[in-house]
């Protein structure tokens, strides 16, 4: 079942690249007591993700924080090393936290998996963005295949 407003963010372990190496991040802890915008992309270094989706959240990070967002996070079904390389390539510092869901466990728990096996890419995440307050989802924007509207940073700013 796909995550909906009113649902609680599932407790799953993700990975985050740090200077000391990959670090486990518990989603229960990550979302606790904060307003979080989480956006998911089909994959690091993919065209729309690299040219529009991630840059849009970086450019709008201050505006999101001005609307009460404590944390902006990007999640992809890639490993922490790939996300670290993508963050470096994109010039990300601390505007967006990069979270790796290498085995798609969190993606599946959200009900947002996308099977791209026919394209040689395996299971990925649908393109989406959600807002959660203290672990409770208040908004979810999921894209239709090939679309880029509901999960844009500007669309999230409009619902805050």
**Those residues with Cβ within 8 angstroms of residue 135's Cβ, 6 or more apart along the chain or in another chain:** 8, 9, 28, 31, 32
Pairwise CA distance, residues 112 & 127, whole Å: 8
Residue 48: its H or E element = helix 47-48
Pairwise CA distance, residues 143 & 148, whole Å: 6
Q: Out of 9, 12, 17, 49, pick the active-site residue.
A: 49
| Annotation says 49 is catalytic | yes
Catalytically active residues are: 49
């Amino acid at each position: 079942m796909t995550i909906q407003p009113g649902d609680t963010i599932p407790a799953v372990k993700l990975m985050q690249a740090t200077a000391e190496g990959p670090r486990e991040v518990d989603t229960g802890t990550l979302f606790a007591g904060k307003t979080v915008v989480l956006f998911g992309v089909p994959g690091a270094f993919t065209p729309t993700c690299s040219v529009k989706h991630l840059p849009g959240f970086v450019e709008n990070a201050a505006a999101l924080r001005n609307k009460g967002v404590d944390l902006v996070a990007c999640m992809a079904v890639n490993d922490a090393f790939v996300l670290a390389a993508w963050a470096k390539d994109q010039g990300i510092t601390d505007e967006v936290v990069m979270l790796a869901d290498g085995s798609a466990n969190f993606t599946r728990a959200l009900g947002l998996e996308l099977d791209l096996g026919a394209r040689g890419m395996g299971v990925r995440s649908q393109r989406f963005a959600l807002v959660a307050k203290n672990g409770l989802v208040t908004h979810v924007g999921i894209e239709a295949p090939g679309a880029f509207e509901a999960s844009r940073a500007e669309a999230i700013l409009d619902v805050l």
